[in-house]
Amino acid sequence: MRDVAVVGTGMTKFGELWGRTIKDIFVEAAHKAIEDAGVDHIDSLYVGCMSPGLFVGQEHLSAVVADYLGVTPVPATRVESACASGGAAFRQAFLEVASGASDIVLAGGVEKMTDGADVTDTLATAADQEYEVYQGITFPGLYAMIAKAHMHQYGTTREQLAAVAVKNHRNGAKNPNAQFRSEVTAEQVMASTMVADPLRLLDCSPVSDGAAAVIVTSLDVARKLKKSYAKVIASAQASDTIALHSRESLTTLNAVVHAAQKAYKMASLKPTDLNLIEVHDCFTIAEIVVSEDLGLFEKGKGGEAAAKGLTSLECGKTPINTSGGLKAKGHPVGATGVAQIIELYEQLTGRAGSRQVKNARRGMAQNMGGSGASCVIHILEGQ
Amino acid sequence: MITARYHREIPQRYRLEAGKCQKCGQVHFPPRRVCSKCKGTTFETIHLSEEGRLVTFTVVRVASDKFSKQTPFVVGIVELNDGLRLTTQLADVDVDKVEIDQKVKLVFRRIQEDGRAGILCYGYKAVLA
Amino acid sequence: MVGVVGYGAYVPRYRIKAEVIARQWGADPEAITRGLQLFEKTVPGQDEDTITISVEAAKNALRRAQIDPKEIGAVYIGSESHPYAVKPSATILIEALGIGPHVHVASYEFACKAGTEAMYVAFSHVKSGEMKYALGIGADTSQGAPGDALEYSASAGGAAFIMGNERVVAEILHTHSYTSDTPDFWRREGEDYPRHGGRFTGDPAYFKHIVEAGKALLEKSKMVPKNFRYAVFHMPNGKFPLEVGKRLGFTKEQIETGWLVPWMGNTYSGSSPTALTAVLDVAQPGDLIFMVSFGSGAGSDGFIYRVTEEIDKVRDRAPKVRQMLDEKKVYLNYGEYAKFRRKIKLNE
């Protein structure tokens, strides 16, 4: 497999984009990425989107976006892996370029969640329909059960969960594309409406519209195009049982562990070699558990680490979610995985403004679907 | 609720019918074609134990439209005495008095309904033993 | 010998006090509880209905009978609150209990005596030699119109009886039914709540049919009230069963074991059947039980049972109805009760 790099990015603001259609926001992001990369054509495109069918009644999204982006007749494919759709789309683009089949591929993600569909029902299609959702469980409910088990087993506290939300909002306030640009206090988090014990409204990522896209090319093409680019030094993916009750453990996400191991091996790196990580914080507990399963902290110590500020932008050795994470940046499901890549690219090319991590050289993006049934991990390296 | 889809799950939801791999003994609920442990493809039908303990739970306060009139309700993962885990609601319980490790048993209840005129859907819930 | 080989009851855990309902509608709580001799009633959970109640009651009956469910040849459920207007409740019950599919199933309705109808037909199938076992169930989640007198008593619960001819626990010696066109209480198709004729439901309906069926039963069997250890009558409120018992010549002592209504309310098709289970829970071998139900519209089914030695082996295999009535109760306020009973208009 040959070397692959990210050479251009583009995204819309994330938020409630009432006046925008799904194709319009995707085209905005994709077009920006193409301009940013300075390429005059693309060989193919992948679009990650969890459920355009249920959210806006539109399937065959690949054809729709290829049409409206004006790139027909290039091949276009929609990729779906619940909330890991974006990361999975990026991985497909990576593999297509790495294999030599294409030189320039667009990897984008989009979701339009505010058009009136029952969001709780639609997101729940990422879980086991017959044996989890049938019984009345919701998405927040699944992660709440993980939280309760983690609190019971390791003593993780309500305050530690809140620390994650506070940190991510503080970072998000510095991100011009974030849905929420205001900070929150721990008290506000712990007083917000209870959604599923112990998770409250401010423990949960929001409902968002948004799109994000990147241009992926071979390293040769990248060198010809740009002075600064980010090389993809690891791409890994893993699966786990669909239902939470079938997992080996309620407090360890095996898909994350496996994908991470493969990624570290591919890049010949240890967790401490990373300068920043974009983690899939669909709920505050997810960031805590993932930080452990990525090998950053000992199992059970993720909450303590968050509370101590070990993952903060200001004083953390390995800042997590400098973009604001899903919590503050927003979580248009299919776009998230690609937006994580964009944050890494900005950081590694020194374009992260007030969010900049000093001397950022290597970053990881961890994207996850459902209650952890799929996980896609990428590691990027700057020059 | 698509009636065929509901009808297929009746042996599991009403009678807790599971598939036990004849090669390695792994129990699958619902039954499946390929054993997740040994890749075997022959199974015998067994009935799960109806008693167990709560290994985790949450109190759902914001539910989908279908369940919205029932909030707050408890959903948990129960580990049955034969080792198998499943997700189920806890019925007839004070939501503030539920704790991990409590002993539970499964009962037959109406789980959901398809609006005013659609079919009624039954299945298992847990109550404190 | 043909009779009951297994029996079981089920009542939900929720309750509402008559005084709470009285205060809701501006009635005098004291006068209500004293007049009806009724203190509280059972309320089904939001996830319970006639089918789930029947399943739990039948599970208890199977625990006592210890037979192979596949040997049951017919299953009948009598109720006035079948969840489907078209689709018998027992079609769901048989799948839940592993009965059938080579089985006959039907739903019965006859106001409050649909349960004893199911029991009578089940008994007849075994008596005629048509099948080895048959299951008859009476269960209801009866509905009383808001602010109406029946709201104090309409409650939820049920009982199941497996009839057979081996290891009989309570032999059925005689039966008798008495029916007429007496429109004392009815519900038209499509209506949410039943209607009734006020005091017309008393002498011309309840008392007339129970007394006529009761007299015929005594004559048929050549027995007199004092032969019986226990007497069970349909219980629309606390007063009526004691009064009708008196008219037939029974004493309060004979009636009080089955007199569950002051704490259970009127479980309609479950009323006399659950009372019978309360009696079987304590009856001794050799005891005779006299039972007459009543269903508005109107009719009565009468039975005479003789308890056998088998009762001692069987009684403790499943929970007892008195225990279910007395333990783990959860009291509701009127708002919660109205929500549970879907008396609140939703935006559907």
Cβ neighbors of C345 (< 8 A, separation 6 or more) are: none
**Other Cβ atoms closer than 10 A to C224:** 9
Q: What angle do CA B10, B13, B19 make, to 5 degrees?
A: 85
Rounded average pLDDT over C332-345: 95
Interface check B54 vs A, CB under 8 A = no
Measured between beta carbons, the chain A residues lying within 8 angstroms of B70 are 136
Interchain contact, A137 vs B61, CB within 8 Å = no
Partner-chain residue, chosen from B64, B75, B86, that has the shortest CB–CB distance to A120:
B64
Which chain A residue lies closest to B101 (C-alpha atoms)? A152
Q: Quick one: A155 and A112 in the same domain?
A: no
What is the mean pLDDT of the segment spanning A342-366?
97
- What is the CB-side half-sphere exposure of residue A263 using CA atoms within 13 A? 33
pLDDT of residue A226: 75
Confirm whether C3-169+318-340 and C171-310 share one CATH topology: yes
| pLDDT over 90 (residue C192) | no
CB contact under 8 A, A244 and B60: no
Q: Token pair of C341, please?
A: 């009973």
Active site residues of C: 80, 112, 234
Listed by start position, the domains of chain C span 3-169+318-340, 171-310
With cut-offs at 50, 70 and 90, classify the pLDDT of residue C347. Answer: confident
Residue range A2-15: average pLDDT? Answer: 98
- Identify the pLDDT of residue B112: 96
Closest residue in B to A132 (Cα) is B87
Q: Are A304 and A183 in contact (CB under 8 A)?
A: no
Distance from CA of B85 to the nearest CA of A (A): 6
pLDDT at residue B21 in the model: 97
The pLDDT-based confidence of B118 (bands split at 50, 70, 90) is very high
Element (H, E) at A313: none
Domain B49-129 CATH class label: mainly beta
Kindly list the residues from chain C whose CB atom is less than 8 angstroms away from the CB atom of residue B92: 12-14, 45, 328, 330
Chain Cα centroid distance, residue B3? 19
Rounded to an integer, the average pLDDT of C299-312 is 98
Residue with tokens 């959860």: C330
Q: DSSP letters of A234-288?
A: EEEEEE--SSGGGSS-SS--HHHHHHHHHHHHHHT--GGG-SEEE---SBHHHHH
pLDDT digits (tens, 9 = 90+) for A317-330: 899 999 999 999 99
Band (pLDDT 50/70/90 cuts) for residue C348 is confident
Q: What is the pLDDT of residue A363?
A: 98
The CATH class that applies to domain C3-169+318-340 reads: alpha beta
B111 touches chain A (CB under 8 A): yes
Q: Would you kindly state where each structural domain of chain B is located, as residue ranges?
A: 1-48, 49-129
Note the pLDDT tens digit of each residue in C261-284: 999 999 999 999 999 999 999 999
- Search chain B and give the residue with CA nearest C89: B120
Chain B residues with CB under 8 Å of a chain C CB are: 10-11, 14-15, 69-70, 89, 91-92, 94, 107-111, 115-116, 120, 122, 125
Both A193 and A85 in a single domain? Answer: no
> Which residue of C96, C328, C346 is in closest CB contact with B14?
C96
Q: Helices in A173-253 by DSSP H: which ranges?
A: 186-191, 219-225
C-chain residues within 8 Å CB-CB of B94?
330
pLDDT at B1 over 80: no
Quick: pLDDT tens for C282-296.
Answer: 999 999 999 999 999
Predicted local distance difference test score (pLDDT) of residue C144:
87
Half-sphere exposure of C104 (CA within 13 A, CB side): 13
Tell me the average pLDDT across A65-89: 98
pLDDT digit string, tens, across residues C96-118: 999 999 999 999 999 999 999 99
CB within 8 Å: B65 and A144: no
A94-to-A46, A278, B107, C32, C291 alpha-carbon distances in Å: 10, 18, 50, 78, 80
Mean pLDDT of A364-378: 98
What's the per-residue H, E or C state across chain B?
CCHHHHHHCHHHHHHCEEEEECCCCCEECCCCCCCCCCCCCCEEEEECCCEEEEEEEEEECCCCHHHHHHCCEEEEEEEECCCCEEEEEECCCCHHHCCCCCEEEEEEEEEEECCCCCCEEEEEEEEEC
Annotated active-site residue in A49, A83, A204, A375: A83
Shortest CB distance from A137 goes to which of B13, B65, B75?
B75
Instruction: Using pLDDT thresholds of 50, 70 and 90, give the confidence band for residue A116.
Output: confident
Decide if C47 and B14 are in contact by the 8 Å CB cutoff. Answer: no
Nearest Cα to Cα of residue C285 among C323, C222, C229: C229
A156: domain CATH number is 3.40.47.10
Q: Which helix (H) or strand (E) holds A106?
A: strand A104-112
Shortest CA gap B126–chain C (Å): 12
Mean pLDDT (whole number) for B97-104: 98
CA distance, residue B59 to nearest chain C CA (Å)? 17
Mean pLDDT of the region A14-26: 97
pLDDT reported for residue A36: 96
Active-site pick, A169, A280, A331, A378 = A331
- Domain total of chain A: 2
Chain B residues whose CB is inside 8 A of the A147 CB are: 58
pLDDT tens digits, A206-216 = 999 999 999 99
What average pLDDT is seen over chain C? Answer: 97
Does residue A295 come out as left (phi exceeding 0), alpha (psi in the -120 to 50 range) or beta? left
Question: Could you tell me the CA-to-CA distances from A298 to A206, A229, A376 in Å, in that order?
Answer: 29, 33, 22
Residues A114 and A173 in one domain: no
- What CATH class has C171-310? alpha beta
Say if residue C61's pLDDT is above 90.
yes
- Say what percent of chain B tops pLDDT 70: 100
| Same domain assignment for residues A57 and A192 | no
Tell me, what's the pLDDT at C79? 98
Q: Is B52 on the interface with A (CB under 8 A)?
A: no
**Which chain A positions have a beta carbon within 8 Å of B67's beta carbon?**
136
A162 and A272 housed in the same domain: yes
pLDDT, tens only, C148-161: 999 999 999 999 99
Q: Are residues A93 and A179 in the same domain?
A: no
Q: Which residues of C touch B109 (CB under 8 A)?
A: 45, 47-48, 52
Which residues of chain A lie closer than 8 angstroms to B87, CB-CB? 128, 131-132, 135, 137, 243-245
Query: What distance in Å separates residue B58's CA from the closest CA in chain C?
Result: 19
pTM (2 d.p.): 0.93
Neighbours of chain B (3+ CB pairs under 8 A): A, C
pLDDT per residue over A128-158, tens digit each? 999 999 999 999 999 999 999 999 999 999 9
For residue B89, which residues of chain C lie inside 8 Å, CB to CB? 47
Contact residues, B window 85-104, toward A, CB-based 8 Å cutoff: 85-89, 100
Domain of A100 in residue numbering reads as 4-118+208-225
* Lowest mean pLDDT, pick from A106-110, A145-149, C193-197: C193-197
For residue C281, the model assigns a pLDDT of 98
> Quick one: pLDDT at residue C130?
97
DSSP three-state, residue A376: strand
Contact status of B58 with chain A (Cβ, < 8 Å): yes
How far is the first Cα of chain C from the last one, in angstroms, to the nearest whole number?
Answer: 54
The answer to whether C327 faces chain B, any CB pair under 8 Å, is no
Contacts of C among chains (3+ CB pairs under 8 A): B
Same domain, A168 and A308: yes
ipTM summary value: 0.95
Kindly state the average pLDDT of the residues A310-321.
92
Do A102 and A143 belong to one domain? no
